[in-house]
Amino acid sequence: MRRRDVDLELLDIDDSMVQRWLETLQQELPWLASSAGVKPSPSLLKAVGTKAYIKAGNLLELTAEGSFGNRRSIVIEGGNWSWR
């Protein structure tokens, strides 16, 4: 099954999963640590280059490319995200 690209504005992702994603990205984007007090939002996810994909089994994959071309991703299970 091919993954489907999804607009972040259409998703409601559990805050703990968004926080986990941002912490993962801090390894590639050190400047992101300075925004630790900022409330996670679709706009912030877009600003750091996050792309979202629906995978088989109701899984959501978030991916982004870091400062040096390294790609990071996490997979979020269906109970931790939903449609807006």
CA 84, CA 69: separation in Å to the nearest integer? 31
pLDDT given for residue 48 in this prediction: 85
Interior/surface letters 3-24, b for 16+ CB within 10 angstroms, e for the rest: eeebebeebebeeebbeebbeb
Average pLDDT over residues 17-22: 89
Average pLDDT over residues 20-42: 77
- Give the pTM: 0.84
- Using only C-alpha atoms, the chain has a radius of gyration, in whole angstroms, of 12
**CA distances for 4 relative to 30, 39, 62, angstroms:** 29, 27, 12
The tally of domains found in the chain comes to: 1
Which strands form 4-6's sheet, in the order they lie side by side?
A: 4-6, 51-55, 59-65, 71-76
User: What pLDDT digit, counting tens, does each position of 32-84 carry?
Assistant: 776 667 677 788 888 888 999 998 888 999 999 877 778 899 999 999 999 98
Q: Which residue has the higher pLDDT, 2 or 22?
A: 22
For residue 42, give its domain range: 4-83
Q: What is the DSSP letter of 39?
A: P
Q: Which residue has the higher pLDDT, 7 or 56?
A: 7
